[in-house]
Amino acid sequence: MEYLNYPLRDTFLDTLKKYPFEQLTDCDTVNLSFNIDGLQLFKSSGKAMWPVLCAVHLKPITVFPITLTCGNKRPTDLHFLDDMVADLNDLQSSGLQHREKTFKVNVLCIVCDAPAKALVRNTKLCSGYYGCDKCTQKGQWFNRVTYQETEELTLRTDEAFRHQTQEEHHHGNTPLLNLPIDMVKAFPIDYMHQACLGVMKKLLLIWSRGEKGCRMSVTQIQEVSSRLLHLKPEIPSIFSRKPRGLEELERWKATEFRQFMLYTGKVVLRGILRDDLYLHFLSFSVVMCILVSSTTLKQYSQYAQQLLQYFVVRGRELYGKTFLVYNTHTMLHITADAVLFDGLDNCSAFKFESFLHTMKRMVRNGRCPLSQVVKRIEERKEEPLQVQKQKITNSPKDRAFVLDSEEGCDVIDETEKNGCHLCRVYSNPQPLFLEPCNSSIIGVFQYKNTTTTMRWIPCETIKSIAMKTQMGDKTIFMKILHKL
């Protein structure tokens, strides 16, 4: 097993120097988050890398590695975390000096998928009877371990974790116990793995390949795929991937499941999926739209928790007891994490997965992959910050917005005139659906194509990017809620 550690203080300081100091003058504390995950390097061998990544939560968020471990299997012990823990303790106790200013350092969270979380916390896997990292519930066996209790759950606490009061949950100690963090709250549920790649993928597999009764017909599956492909020209450029048909479901990436969960699923399943199944999906979609947006979260967090309770219980009624596997069960806990971190995007693995993909492309062949990655990282050290600017483009798919008045706005001419853009404005907004709630609370509206006018709209009011699509004689606008 090959191992390399980058001193956290030096690497963090090099990253901080890339930010304009004016941006840091009003900043006394810098939040860091960490990610530990396995990266399979080749399809033809078991060689993998287990990097520890750090993210600096400034604008833009910057990710860099602090530990690289490479071998033919996952680490057999947790000593690869020792240097990270020592460096982080030092950094938190003394702060970081930059241009005669000392910045305090705060550990925001440690983001891992379920297997990696169990590894670094030295606890039972999520497939075990005591595998839930948020509550003490014992799982029940229904062809697999499930979690059937949905109310009055006994939550884990930092104190209980450190004293290992539920021995069945633990394998032993972990170096992370030496950090001044909450060993439960500091490990949030990652909605990328557990909601997008977990629950959303599970639902799509049930509808397309599941048991008769819940499964769509071949014709219905083809119609959903056709609708998804029809949406491709209307997907804004801010999305890295465009929709693919359900025949390629096994090859969908996390961002595609997120796109379906938050946006396109509401449209393409409408009128095709059985009514009770569609309403159940809408409850999940609405909740995730609320939890990814800090704006809606502040107002509707309590409602989101109630709706998730309904989603889990109703899911058992519709799909059977096996639906309540670990990923589904964690939806009962995800609202608390969203509230704690002011939105799920602040504690998700998307930014880390993007960097892991970059790291994988650094490996050109199977000879000394660790050295190859180290050399590429050294070459990237002098690169400036990648700042993603939002702008109105010439493409019609990038010119849809929702105004504060809830009117739909289609920018016709990007040329400014007296600080305004010429826009086609869709008036008289109507909700796309009323159950499980009014769709307006998540920024989803429909407009008659006959209720449009041409107006000059001030540029500063055109800020809420939307996805626009046609449905019959109506136009649908959906606000983009997740962080870009």
Report pLDDT digits (tens) over 182-211: 999 999 999 999 999 999 999 999 999 998
Judge whether 419 and 459 are in contact, CB under 8 Å: yes
Taking residues 448-468, report their average pLDDT: 92
d(C-alpha 25, C-alpha 22), whole Å: 5
Residue 410: strand pairing partners: 400, 424
pLDDT category at 73 given cuts 50, 70, 90 is: confident
**How confident is the model over 140-196, as pLDDT tens digits?**
999 999 999 999 999 999 999 999 999 999 999 999 999 999 999 999 999 999 999
- Report, as an integer, the average pLDDT of 360-387: 85
pTM of the model: 0.94
10 Å Cβ neighbour count for 246?
21
The pLDDT, as a whole number, for residue 228 is 97
DSSP 465: B
Q: Distance (Å, rounded) from C-alpha 333 to C-alpha 312? A: 11
What's the rounded Cα separation, in Å, for the pair 178 and 167? 20
Inform me whether the pLDDT recorded for 119 exceeds 80: yes
> What DSSP line would sit under 286-346, residue for residue?
HHHHHHH-HHHHHHHHHHHHHHHHHHHHHHHHHH-GGG-SHHHHGGGTHHHHHHHTTSGGG
Q: What is the pLDDT of residue 23?
A: 87
C-alpha–C-alpha distance, residues 369 and 327, integer Å: 33
Q: How confident is the model at residue 478, as a pLDDT?
A: 97
pLDDT digit string, tens, across residues 252-282 = 999 999 999 999 999 999 999 999 999 999 9
DSSP states along 429-440: -EES--SSS-GG
Pairing, β 474-479 against β 2-5: unpaired
Nearest to 400 by CA among 418, 416, 412: 412
pLDDT at 342: 95
Using 50, 70 and 90 to split pLDDT, how confident is the model at 380? confident
Q: What is the pLDDT of residues 296-319, one digit of tens each?
A: 999 999 999 999 999 999 999 999
Provide φ and ψ at 25, rounded to 5°. Answer: -65, -35
437-474 as b/e: b if 16+ CB within 10 A: bebeebbbbbbeeebbeeeebeeeebebbbbbbeeeeb
CA-CA distances (angstroms) from residue 41 to 51, 71, 254, 366, 396? 12, 10, 19, 9, 39
| CB distance 171 to 123 below 8 Å | yes
Residues of the chain above pLDDT 70, percent: 98
| Spatial distance between the Cα atoms of 269 and 321, rounded to a whole number of angstroms | 24
Query: With 90 as the cut, is the pLDDT of residue 476 above it?
Result: yes
Closest among 174, 139, 170, 136 to 152, alpha carbons compared:
136
User: What mean pLDDT, rounded, does the chain reach?
Assistant: 93
- pLDDT of amino acid 388: 59
Q: pLDDT-derived band of residue 393, with 50, 70 and 90 as boundaries?
A: low
- Checking if the pLDDT of 326 tops 90, the result is yes
- Measured CA to CA, the distance from residue 347 to residue 187 in angstroms comes to 9
Q: Render pLDDT for 198-245 as a digit per residue (tens, 0 to 9).
A: 999 999 999 999 988 899 999 999 999 999 999 999 999 999 899 999
Assess whether pLDDT exceeds 90 at residue 387. Answer: no
- Is 389's pLDDT higher than 80? no
Is the distance from CB of 329 to CB of 144 less than 8 angstroms? no
The predicted-structure confidence for 2-39, as pLDDT tens digits, reads as follows 888 899 999 999 999 999 888 888 889 999 999 999 99
Percent of the chain with pLDDT over 90: 78
Nearest CA-CA partner of 402 in 337, 463, 348: 463
Minimal CA–CA distance to 400: which of 345, 457, 450?
457
